[in-house]
């Protein structure tokens, strides 16, 4: 018997709050979560009371029981959190929700992420403490304190090994900002980026300029998932989950920069399972949303999802290749984490759905397959593939 979620679950509603610069949200984080869930239910034209499950990731603080109470849900059947991995859990939360529906544990699951860094601690900030324990004891005393620093080391190794130029990272940033100018939801809408502005921006840690780094934002996003047989009962063009996987390779969790496979975005063991479940290959993907904590992670993720050879990055990563509508592989068509919003990457999954609905602000012509890579360079990571009815 084949064990798979392929074609068994559909996304029928998506919703977001307005996105704010860190510290500028007018509402508490929990209220932001409720607003996004209500918006997704409205998009699906269902009552929030019919939701019977919640799935999130990265230690979201909005407790499912409390959400169910506030929304008036009739029956809470499923509540799930993807452990670890930060933004690497975005597609993992979708996978968990889809598994619950496919196995009959729930009928209507909301995948959500709410984030108000202005009200809590900041992701990416170095620890402020007189005592450091655990893996940080091996790095913090030497000044290695932030994700930017840690990931820069992996990216520098990859770029050195394969002769990758800075212009490849620049192209990723330029593409995201280009797409954001057509997306009124994007925080960077109306703030275009040029090559000159990119090059003149300050270094955060080489090889990352300011514009190679994701934003810090407040807001919330949500998706409504139901069994595939119900998909046509909803107002929007059905979007089906073809594949959703998570995981990491041998000793990826070695946390003091001593993992055996160092210069990786952590997708090498998950990608074969991703394509195998979806029953398609990278050549059939029309548009991709690739998580950008930093542009170097996008570079490595694209390679490990088999869209580009490691030694071909300088030729592949150009603004023309990465932008909609006519690029070889349009990526991050909403503006992504760099220029739309950093909602721990769940906005990328929503954009994948919008592309297949034909509702993107940077629409790819007639797509049938949309891919999301959630992560990278953390553990575990996750990926998902969404398809139109034609792919079933």
Do 186 and 215 form a contact (C-beta atoms < 8 A)? no
- State the catalytic residue, choosing from 19, 20, 240, 342: 342
Cβ neighbours of residue 339 under 8 Å, at least 6 residues apart? 176, 177, 179, 180, 186, 187, 188, 193, 215, 332
Q: What is the number of other CB atoms lying within 10 angstroms of the CB of residue 26?
A: 9
Do 218 and 116 form a contact (C-beta atoms < 8 A)? yes
- Structural tokens at position 388: 């139109």
Please name the helix (run of DSSP H) or strand (run of DSSP E) that holds residue 253, with its range, or none: none
**Residue 342 annotated among the catalytic residues of the structure:** yes
For residue 370, give the 3-state DSSP assignment. Answer: strand
Query: From CA 84, how far away is CA 87, in angstroms rounded?
Result: 9
**Strand positions, DSSP E, the chain:** 9-16, 20-21, 53-57, 78-82, 109-116, 203-205, 208-209, 217-227, 239-247, 287-290, 369-374, 381-387
Q: Which of 66, 42, 64 is nearest to 109 (CA)?
A: 64
Query: For residue 371, what are the β-bridge partners?
Result: 288, 385
Query: From CA 320, how far away is CA 298, in angstroms rounded?
Result: 16
Catalytically annotated residues: 291, 342
């Amino acid at each position: 018997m084949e064990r798979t979620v392929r074609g068994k679950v559909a996304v029928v509603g998506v919703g977001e709050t307005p996105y704010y610069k860190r510290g500028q949200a007018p509402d508490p984080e929990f209220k932001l979560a409720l607003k996004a869930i209500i918006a997704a239910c409205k998009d699906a034209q269902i009552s929030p009371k019919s939701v019977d499950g919640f799935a999130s990731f990265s230690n979201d603080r909005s407790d499912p029981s409390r959400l169910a109470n506030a929304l008036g849900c009739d029956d809470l059947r499923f509540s799930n959190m993807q452990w670890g991995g930060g933004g690497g859990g975005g597609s993992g939360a979708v996978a968990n929700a889809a598994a619950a529906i496919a196995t009959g544990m729930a009928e209507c699951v909301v995948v959500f992420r709410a984030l108000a860094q202005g009200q809590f601690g900041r992701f990416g900030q170095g620890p402020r403490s007189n005592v450091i324990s655990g893996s940080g004891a091996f790095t913090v005393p030497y000044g290695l304190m932030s994700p930017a620093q840690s990931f820069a080391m992996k990216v520098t190794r990859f770029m050195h090994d394969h002769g990758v130029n800075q212009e490849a990272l620049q192209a990723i940033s330029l593409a995201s900002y280009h797409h954001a100018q057509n997306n009124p939801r994007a925080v960077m809408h109306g703030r275009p980026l040029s090559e000159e502005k990119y090059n003149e921006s300050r270094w955060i840690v080489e090889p990352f300029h300011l514009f190679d780094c994701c934003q810090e934002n407040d807001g919330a996003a949500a998706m409504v998932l139901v069994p595939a047989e119900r998909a046509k009962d909803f107002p929007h063009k059905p979007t089906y989950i073809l594949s959703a996987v998570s995981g990491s390779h041998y000793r990826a969790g070695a946390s003091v920069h001593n993992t055996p496979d160092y210069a990786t975005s952590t997708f090498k063991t998950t990608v074969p399972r991703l394509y195998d479940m979806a029953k398609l290959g990278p050549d059939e993907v029309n548009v991709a949303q690739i998580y950008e904590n930093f542009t170097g992670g996008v570079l490595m993720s694209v390679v490990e999802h088999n869209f580009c050879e490691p030694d071909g990055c300088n030729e592949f990563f150009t603004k023309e290749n990465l932008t909609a509508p006519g690029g070889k592989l349009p990526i991050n068509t909403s503006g992504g984490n760099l220029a739309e919003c950093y909602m721990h990457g769940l906005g990328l999954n929503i954009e994948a759905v919008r592309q297949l609905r034909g509702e993107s602000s940077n629409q790819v012509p007639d797509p049938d397959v949309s891919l999301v890579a959630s992560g990278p360079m953390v553990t575990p990571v996750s990926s998902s593939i969404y398809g139109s009815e034609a792919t079933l």
